[in-house]
Amino acid sequence: MKYILLVLLAAPLLVFSQTSPDIIITNGRILDGTGNSWYHADVAVKGDKIISIKKGLANQFLNAKIIDAKNMIVSPGFIDVHAHIEGSIFERPTANNYIYDGVTSVVTGNCGGAADDIADFFRRLDSIGTSINVATLAGHNNIRRLGMGLEDRKATVEEMKKMEALTEKAMKDGAVGLSTGLIYLPGMYSPTEEIVALAKIAAANGGVYATHMRNEGLKVHEAIDEALTIGREAKIPVQISHFKVAGKNNWGRSTETLDMVIKARNQGFDITIDQYPYTASSTNLAVTLPDWALEGGLDSLRVKLKDPIQRKKVLDGMKNSLEAGKRKDYSYAVVAGFPADTTLNGKSITQINIEKGRKKKFINEANTILDMLAKSNAQMIYHTMSEKDLAYFMKYPFNMPAADGGVSNGKGMPHPRAYGTNARVLAKYVREEKVIGLEEAVRRMTSLPARKFGLKERGLLMEGMKADILVFDENTIQDLSVYENPHQFTKGIEYVLVNGKLVLNQGSHTGMKSGETIKGNK
């Protein structure tokens, strides 16, 4: 009897210990990610979940760690749906540039480039631990390369079967969809019907189709039309990556291109876009060459360039492309990272050409590019877009900010978007220019991407959701990374919780690696 009484007396204490929060965020203004206005409440976290959101919690549970938000914004962690972290995350699993910018989850494997073996990729991430949550797409370029190499031709029946099997495996292993990079090897050689066939497999497994389209300049209309065709025929939701109109001759076409997206969505088609808030893009140096020249990869290109006839053909193709964009030189192309000669980092092709003692002529600058590619490819920054078009796209409600970056190792002269994408939206386009409102910006960074990519339990501040939480000052948040000095972390975000653990504490990274791998179909 005495034993039973002790058990009964202990029972309330046991229940209390199970429900008592580990962390309570108090004195904050809650932006829950829905787009609704903020409200005052405390947020209680237990383990990796939010267990309560209401006023007065800090007074009820005195043993919990208290975070005083000091009237700052408390929001869900930001979700970046366009990342390229396959290699860099293993070099720096703390993902500092993402964490300081408020990103708690990323979707990698974009532009057709993912891990060859997604199951192994997830195993490796789980083994090292990361500060951010990671989901991935299946990369079409990987699948085509594994299925048929780098050749410029249609796949045979057997090769298609192999690519379909690879796509099926990637989806079963946890990919959240299929991505294409149709300006990159070998995806540039793929006919639309090939992509449709593989997208159908992704659709059958609950995935999305995310595309770096075949063209973002003169033929952007045709490229959007192809993306819509793939979506309709495969019956799959579509995400158009880093939506833009590139090249001065295309400036002002933002109304035309976005109208295509709006029309499709009004017809009941699930299409959304993402965008980085900068007027410069970033990709490799080889994209300045005609597609045919890249068949077989850079080793094959180097063989071609030794043949005077082939080299002239490549140069002619480069000239045609430059003239089509109404450009006279490559001053818009700046080296972000050139492994063969890091002294070229931060310099334009025009500047490099002059420093080599050559006159400022197309042929000399084009040969400078070919000379560089003979040594190695380079990561580049291309200043090709207009601020007016950028702001027009920013206003679209089904547009998500996304950095199109990787985990920074502090080297080279990378695009500042890898450091400051979310802060730049909140500072420049919300606070300063008032292009969109704060509540709307947070919705685009949280619940919108979570819903689109099927990231369950994330993107909203609600009881039962994963405790990916930010505390930031909307009046001081600021991107500090600039083209001339990119390795600068965002300021103004004071706390970041990832799965209930403090990764950023009073503005400093704790080293905590509480991120998880997020698998589709789970």
- Please report which confidence band the pLDDT of residue 3 belongs to, taking 50, 70 and 90 as the band edges: very low
489 vs 498: CA distance, rounded Å: 18
pLDDT digits (tens, 9 = 90+) for 328-377: 999 999 999 999 999 999 999 999 999 999 999 999 999 999 999 999 99
- The residues, any chain, with a CB within 8 Å of residue 150's CB and separated by 6 or more, are 185, 186, 295, 296, 297, 300
Closest CA to 89 of 131, 143, 123: 131
pLDDT digits (tens, 9 = 90+) for 166-177: 999 999 999 999
pLDDT digits (tens, 9 = 90+) for 489-520: 999 999 999 999 999 999 999 999 999 999 99
Query: Residue written as tokens 């600068």?
Result: 488
- pLDDT higher than threshold 80 for residue 430: yes
- Please report which confidence band the pLDDT of residue 522 belongs to, taking 50, 70 and 90 as the band edges: low
The more confident residue out of 326 and 317 is: 317
Beta carbons of 105 and 77 less than 8 angstroms apart:
yes
Task: List, as one string, the DSSP characters of 322-374.
Answer: HHHTT-SSSTTEEEEE-TT-GGGTT-BHHHHHHHTT--S-HHHHHHHHHHHHH
Query: Residue written as tokens 């009881």?
Result: 463
Query: In the numeric block, which tokens belong to residue 384?
Result: 């090709």
- Please report which confidence band the pLDDT of residue 238 belongs to, taking 50, 70 and 90 as the band edges: very high
- pLDDT higher than threshold 50 for residue 196: yes
What is the sign, positive or negative, of the torsion defined by CA atoms of 315, 320, 322, 323?
positive
Strands 271-275 and 399-401, by their bridges, are parallel
pLDDT digits (tens, 9 = 90+) for 34-55: 999 999 999 999 999 999 999 9
Strand partners, 180: 211
Task: List, as one string, the DSSP characters of 167-199.
Answer: HHHHHHTT--EEEEETTSTTGGG--HHHHHHHH
- pLDDT higher than threshold 50 for residue 28: yes
In 11-83, the DSSP E strands lie at 23-30, 39-46, 49-54, 65-68, 73-76, 78-80
- pLDDT higher than threshold 60 for residue 11: no
First vs last C-alpha separation in the chain: 47
Report which DSSP code applies to 460.
S
φ, ψ for residue 210, nearest 5 deg: -110, 125
Strand partners, 282: 381
101 vs 447: CA distance, rounded Å: 17
SS3 211: strand
pTM for the predicted model, two decimal places? 0.93
pLDDT digits (tens, 9 = 90+) for 277-321: 999 999 999 999 999 999 999 999 999 999 999 999 999 999 999
74 vs 496: CA distance, rounded Å: 10
